[in-house]
Structure 1
């Protein structure tokens, strides 16, 4: 029985149930378009509890399957989900036949669904039919769910027209169409402006002139859903792939430089020229990467792939779906909109710090001292000449400002429709990419002055995930993984599985932290610590059993599991990567 508020696009006898958020990159990658009979429930936040926001997300991403509006996480709790995304496969008779967390399940899902279709067609329990959903008509606008924008020479603007899979050049008024780069049809193709194809492009970065001359292109584009970086020659509009293979990254963290066209990427979301490189907000794996257009190499810059908020040296810090980048006027600081922690972070002198934000589960609209201020899923940042930074506070529908000189956060503008980026124009004005309104909006004159800003003391929210009770002393952590039908664990090049465990606070674990190759781990929990969060990363390598045409697959997931230490609680903690817990 499914209990929640309502359905978006109508109910269905679902074959796949999943949990996601209205902007969750992993969910969008985990549900291939070939499965139309899926029912999804979304994770909670203030805006995510708004039915209109959910409907907009369904429209933005072209979702055709039914979506269950589950703001109180009722379905989440019924399916004992502990990770985003979580998928449960339900057969036509209503039985859960598999549960999967994280990404990398597409091949296995396809095989499992094929088996279920054959089985239930033979039994007569499979009923086919079209869904009831009819998508709304597209608005007659130059842009449709635009993502990011940059200023060009002469005052024109280049905008990523994400839902139309193209780039749009606009006149300085932010409205008049100059040209479109890309066919407007989702795809992956290099070539002339009219033939090139993108898939939901987002970030844009104008290269310094001396770099562009050597590289042979002027602008780098984050081709998000294609997992690519593309180069654009502004004179002709020609598009060329400059980084990525088109495969999603599912490997191990390293500090190596890789050939840019041989390395896999994962949902690159924004770009900025910093530290003599293009820095990439790699939202899909919670990291920052770098790309060198001259040497044609790429590699990891910051983050471990753990989704959380932790400051420190770049290689040790944690991020959570970084989605916006901007460089300070003096070039010393890289600002980062870290969307899932509702935070503004910064890179300076080899260290990642936090300016505003509390973590994954604290958000709201509160101005004042930065250590108390709250944002809600910011997607963009814009550095101002005076050293302050503007924030596209997306789910609050606002533009916020943080001034490092005073340590204060204020609200510059409100009532916006999911602002996703800001761009400083040649005349000193600011344009806001108002994504859900399909337009660029100009901030009112004087909005950036002290008089124009306001101080909002709005609601504070905390997403309370019910902690898992664990016993003090020895606890067995079991990551459940069963290879998909037609696959087997692949130990050709060494151990097929890997498990990384850490804790926050570190004192929570007396033993068991670290990296190993077994998916079962003995932990020793300190009974004097009331609780905390266990950070668990697991991956499993499989290959097809058909030796002649075997393909390799890597399944990976990060969990942040809140735990409470209780005397007499279970001494086993199961996490399902794929399969069913016995």
Structure 2
């Protein structure tokens, strides 16, 4: 049965020059709806995947982003406008804060893609990332068919590019203090690094009155904090040398002087959208690629390819990598060039314990102390740490530090603040009761406490391990994403305000507390036995590939674990019978699926193959009147 695409409903449109659009405005062309939210790293991957398709099929295909927020901050219109600019979204965006269009198209994952044909009928639906090749194959077949039938009308997209006001910094991400006392800032929006002279401590403005009209200085109005030099041309790309190119660099770490002398570079850069680590030599500004090819890591790629490294830290004789794109922690040894997985299974969520079995959720910020590596898990709104007690226990010199792989196996992961994927808020007090909202940075303070860049709350928070308490240092900030200690101040990277803002280390602020859950409607399911099916249809010209074993894999777990009485675990079948405990009531089904497909032509000696993967965290509500079947679409027909 052919399904009509529902109307596009929301609060407003962005990137259209003020025009309000409807489904009828896209009649005659293919319409690809991209349901996304700007906190989601997988959604950001899809933005990059779609750019070549938009260029290839530009006059026959219009991409429309449907922004469907997960966090409260993501429903703020100014925040959405900033995100559309930050990530260089080159197509119209429908702002859907109430998730009306999301529900009408039965989306259950960020991101979800829905293709609508020129007659207004739904062609296919995809969940997750990695579907550009499938869309390409489908469009290559469908466009000539509609052109021959006279139903395709080629034309321009209604996209109108915004015109932001120039600033010295554009969406800066992290900063590090250099040996000369200056600051090095990852200027993500300008695809470059900026060295800034450290401002004078006296006469700075407080974060509460930082929004002075016309204030463009990267140092919040201080004339002493000027730009010393810029590393990188400012053009997006992956180019080494003296005229380097970056793509949204985020994390920075200064190597110990002894290590830097041996390897020939001083700073390691997490070049996020290039999926690479880059090395910067401070003396001459030369940049080299350390790990990564520009391609994104997929299952089976080994550790020479990365996936959205968001931050880096020097801890226990290694560079640690917050591998946000696959929800893991990796390490890089500058002396050997070896990159390896240190913690995490690639499952997204919050699970403590043995590092190899722990779950993470878009780790985005590090702070290293001798005993612990602190990190911010943004999607679970959590502050967590790893213990160092078993690493290098018997090593007192660099030679012994080289032999340390066994110690990595004994790491333990702990959570100080945070409970899961869908709970967040703003609350001080005991750590087990405190709430954050999508934090992106952490900073170790001189007194042993930890400052948290509580990004979506626009605040800086402090956690004291000695007392187990969380308090708020400052509010009113525009998406703080990192900070460094400079004397008696914390210099905060105020990303959405394009500046650095000082906060006294002893500062405190009153807050208006709130607690909430993601407003995504839960999926109703029945108690007792239900059937969960993942729908997967290979792209045109491809078939399931089982030459090297089963072509599909399905893993199901739940939070709380008592939600599933039986049926959890791994299997190769995409249909699973689950027994749901009706007494649990609410919970989250964690569903991870992968499917391998290859060219089905017998004439091709080495057919191209693709691995399709998606992780769902499906909030569910158990009701005896609920349906006994749950269908999740990885790739195939949609049923609005």
TM bracket, shorter-chain basis = over 0.9
- Report matched runs for 1:64-143 at 5 Å: 64-143=90-169
Q: How does 1:514-529 map to 2 (within 5 A)?
A: 514-529=569-584
Structure 2: 5+ residue runs without aligned partners? 1-6, 200-218, 220-224, 389-410
Deviation of the 1:46 alpha carbon? 1.8
Cα pair 2:70 2:519 within 8 Å, conserved? no
Distance 1:468 1:137 in 2: 40
Task: Give the alignment's TM-score, normalised by structure 1.
Answer: 0.92
Matched, 1:51 2:57: no
1:180 maps to what in 2? 230
User: Take 2:502 and 2:585, find their aligned partners in 1: how far apart are those partners?
Assistant: 50
Instruction: Say how many residue pairs are matched.
Output: 565
**How far 1:531 moved relative to its partner?**
4.1
Q: Distance in 1 between matches of 2:366 and 2:164?
A: 30
TM-superposed deviation, 1:252:
5.9
Match of 2:63 among 38, 61, 83: 38
Residue 212 (structure 1) aligned with residue 260 (structure 2): yes
Q: 1:560 is matched with which residue: 600, 617, 634?
A: 617
- Of 424, 432, 436, 2:496 maps to 436
What is the Cα deviation at residue 479 of structure 1?
0.9
Q: For the structure 1 residues 376 and 565, does the alpha-carbon distance in structure 2 shift closer, same or farther, using more than 3 Å as the test?
A: closer
1:155-554 alignment runs, 5 A limit: 155-173=181-199, 174=219, 175-192=225-242, 194=243, 196-251=244-299, 263-328=304-369, 331-349=370-388, 350-425=411-486, 427-443=487-503, 447-449=504-506, 452-546=507-601, 547-548=604-605, 550-554=607-611
Q: In structure 1, which of residues 23, 28, 31 is the aligned counterpart of residue 44 of structure 2? A: 28
Q: Segments of 4+ in structure 1 off by > 6 A?
A: none
Q: Deviation per CA, 1:356-385, whole angstroms, max 9, x where unpaired?
A: 223222222222222222211111111101
Is the 1:19–1:43 contact (alpha carbons within 8 Å) kept by the matching residues of 2? no
Q: Distance in 2 between matches of 1:172 and 1:303?
A: 38
- CA distance in 2 between counterparts of 1:401 and 1:526 reads 39
Per-residue deviation, residues 78-131 of structure 1 (Å, max 9, x unmatched): 111111111111111111111101111111112222333222222222233333
Structure 1 residues 43 and 482, CA gap change in structure 2 (3 angstroms): same
Q: Distance in 1 between matches of 2:263 and 2:595?
A: 38
SS of the aligned residue for 1:147 comes to: strand
1:461-500: CA deviations, max 9, x gaps?
Answer: 2224333333344322211111111222222322211111
| Cα separation, 2, equivalents of 1:216 and 1:485 | 49
Deviation per residue, 1:412-459 (Å, 9 max, x gap):
12221111110122x34321111111111222xxx322xx31242422
C-alpha contact (below 8 Å) 2:531/2:628 kept by paired residues: yes
Distance in 2 (alpha carbons) for counterparts of 1:61 and 1:457? 30
Contact 1:155 1:172 in 2 (8 A): yes
- CA deviation digits over 1:381-432, x for unaligned, max 9? 111011111111111211111112222222212221111110122x343211
Deviation at 1:553, TM superposition (A): 1.3
Q: Structure 1 unaligned runs (5+)?
A: none
* SS of residue matched to 2:119: coil
Structure with bigger gyration radius? 2
Q: CA RMSD in A?
A: 2.0
- Work out the CA distance in 1 between the residues paired with 2:587 and 2:180: 53
Check the 8 A contact 1:44/1:73 in 2, yes or no: no
SS of 1:575's partner is strand
**Secondary structure, aligned partner of 2:466:** coil
For 2:191 and 2:328, how far apart are their aligned partners in 1? 24
The answer to whether 1:151 aligns with 2:208 is: no
Pick which of 533-542 and 547-556 moved more.
Answer: 547-556
C-alpha distance in 2 between matches for 1:581 and 1:24: 22
User: Are the counterparts in 1 of residues 344 and 355 from structure 2 also a CA contact under 8 Å?
Assistant: yes
State the shift of 1:549 in Å.
6.2
Note the C-alpha offset of 1:283. Answer: 0.9
Query: Residues 331-359 of structure 1, C-alpha deviation per residue, up to 9 Å, x if partnerless?
Result: 11111111111111111142221212232
Secondary structure at 1:148 match in 2: strand
1:543 and 1:299 map into 2 onto residues whose CA distance is 29
**Matched-pair contact (CA < 8 Å) for 1:170–1:176:** yes
Closer/same/farther in 2, CA of residues 529 and 409 from structure 1, 3 Å limit: closer
Deviation at 1:132, TM superposition (A): 3.8
2:28 maps to 1:2: no
In the alignment, is the contact (CA less than 8 A) between 2:38 and 2:44 conserved in 1?
no
> Is contact 1:269–1:282 with CA below 8 Å preserved after alignment?
yes
Contact residue 166 and residue 201 of structure 1 kept, 8 A: yes
Distance 1:517 1:88 in 2: 26
- TM-score under structure 2 normalisation? 0.84
Using the alignment, how far apart are the partners of 2:138 and 2:195 within structure 1? 45
Could you tell me how far apart the structure 1 residues matched to 2:83 and 2:584 are?
Answer: 40
| 8 A Cα contact 1:368 1:455, kept in partner | no
User: Residues of 2 paired with 1:96 and 1:581: CA distance?
Assistant: 7
User: What is aligned with 2:222?
Assistant: none
SS for the counterpart of 1:524 is strand
Deviations 1:261-300 (A, max 9, x none): xx22111100111122111111111121111111211122
